[in-house]
Amino acid sequence: MSLDDALQAGLDALRDRDLERSLRVVARHEGAVVDTKLGTAVDFSSNDYLGLATHPRLAEAATNAIKEFGIGSGASRLISGNNPEHVALESELADYFEAEQALTFASGYAANVGIIPALVGRGDAIFADTLNHASLIDGCRLSRATVHVYPHLDVGALATLLQEHRGAARRALIVTDGLFSMDGDRAPIGDIVDLARQHDAWTYVDDAHAVGVLGVDGRGSASAARRLGDVDVTVGTLGKAFGVAGAFVYGSSTLIQYLMNRARSFIFSTAMMPAQAAAAREALRMIRFEPTHREKLLANAIRMTRMLHGAGIEAMGGAGAHIVPIMIGDAGEAVMVGSQLVTRGYLVGAVRPPTVPNGSSRLRITVSAAHTPLQIGGLAETLAGILRK
């Protein structure tokens, strides 16, 4: 069988189960407005939680850096790609998170698949939440450590697994999302840190959806749980609330020095553009020193859940969560509701397996500080109309 025939059979099988994916062209503008070939829509599917992705101040910071340094970083960080903008961003991130040091990566995906295998390997044990992000799962697999998966958020089950398996392992690492991207709920950071200490394990939190949003001045999940500084390794992305692209890890100086020497996705990859770092620095200033962005997001998130509830729609995630999933179940149905919404001017993600478990396809509404009350009310009303039919 030819390569194409073999692959076509795979694509056909996906299509039969309503799981085939395709790209949509989306031109993003200020105010969470996007143009697609189906017309203009309000975007309720992005991770641009604070509306910074199209903010003129970030664009200006990037433009200035391009004028000064050009486009490309020229090399990996350890060769000659280590621009002053990278160094400044990392030192400002470390200061913000009250950590000794921070290190940037090309993306959150690259960070997770590079860091986890640098920390643990054969003979070690990983304890992981069953709903962890794909990049964490891949990092765990790459590490060759034995992975013990516990039911979602179940610290009792985690404690049992630690009791049973910690002893046989050399090192132990507990790995979890801070705020779960498809369910909108939070990891019990305090309980996890306490268990880790009890069992001589380390903690690794991927806080992609919480940095810039939750906690004091947006410092994330650990801060929200009043345990900032108690997590050993924290990863955050610059592609979500920060509105740019790229990622970072923060922790002790020893951790960062070690990762510079051992994280393969850091060592063997071109440094992010200096302009990305410059834009991320501007985003960090806005997140840290301008609470209005976060306050607007929270007000919008509360409004969203209230309007949905008022329209008789049951949403997952907590009150005031900026990720608002609505369970549909069937993949085909989720896609159909999504496409009806987009023709009515609202872009909402239809999330299907393998992103979520089989039979749990859902709409994933994400709220942004850039939304207006009118847009939020409009979505709730339109969605209610579609779901009634």
Ligand X SMILES: *Cc1c(COP(=O)(O)O)cnc(C)c1O
- Which chain residues interact with ligand X by CB under 6 A? 107-109, 112, 133, 135, 177, 181, 206, 208-209, 237, 239, 247
If the CB atoms of residues 239 and 317 are measured against ligand X, the closer one turns out to be 239
**Please, which residue, 127 or 303, has the CB nearer to ligand X?**
127
- Catalytic one of 86, 199, 240, 322: 240
CA pair distance 130, 127, nearest whole angstrom: 10
Half-sphere exposure of 116 (CA within 13 A, CB side): 35
Distance CA 120, CA 233 (A): 13
- Residue 133 or residue 199: which is nearer to ligand X going by CB? 133
The CB-of-209 to ligand X minimum distance in angstroms stands at 5
Smallest distance, ligand X to C-beta of residue 207, A: 8
E strand map for 45-117:
101-105
Identify whether the C-beta of residue 324 lies closer than 8 Å to the C-beta of residue 366. Answer: yes
Side-chain-facing half-sphere of 32: CA atoms under 13 Å: 28
Cβ proximity of 277 and 83 under 8 Å: yes
Is 181 one of the annotated active-site residues of the chain?
yes
Q: Would you say 51 or 246 has its CB closer to ligand X?
A: 246
In the bound complex, what is the minimum distance in angstroms from residue 67's beta carbon to ligand X?
26
Among this protein's residues, is 209 annotated catalytic?
Answer: yes
Spatial separation of the C-alpha atoms in residues 56 and 139, rounded to whole Å? 35
Query: Shortest gap between Cβ of 204 and ligand X (angstroms)?
Result: 11
The tokens for 56 are 């003129």
* The one catalytic residue among 181, 265, 361, 368: 181
Which residue, 109 or 127, has its beta carbon nearer to ligand X? 109
The answer to whether residues 360 and 329 touch, using CB atoms and an 8 Å cutoff, is yes
Q: Measured at the alpha carbon of residue 45, what is the angle toward residues 39 and 51, in degrees to the nearest 5?
A: 95
In whole angstroms, the minimum distance from the beta carbon of 208 to ligand X comes to 3
CB nearer ligand X, residue 133 or residue 166: 133
Residue whose C-alpha is closest to residue 251's, from 273, 268, 271, 236: 236
Question: What's the closest the beta carbon of residue 58 comes to ligand X, in angstroms?
Answer: 16
* End-to-end alpha carbon distance in the chain: 45
Residues marked active site are found at 181, 209, 240
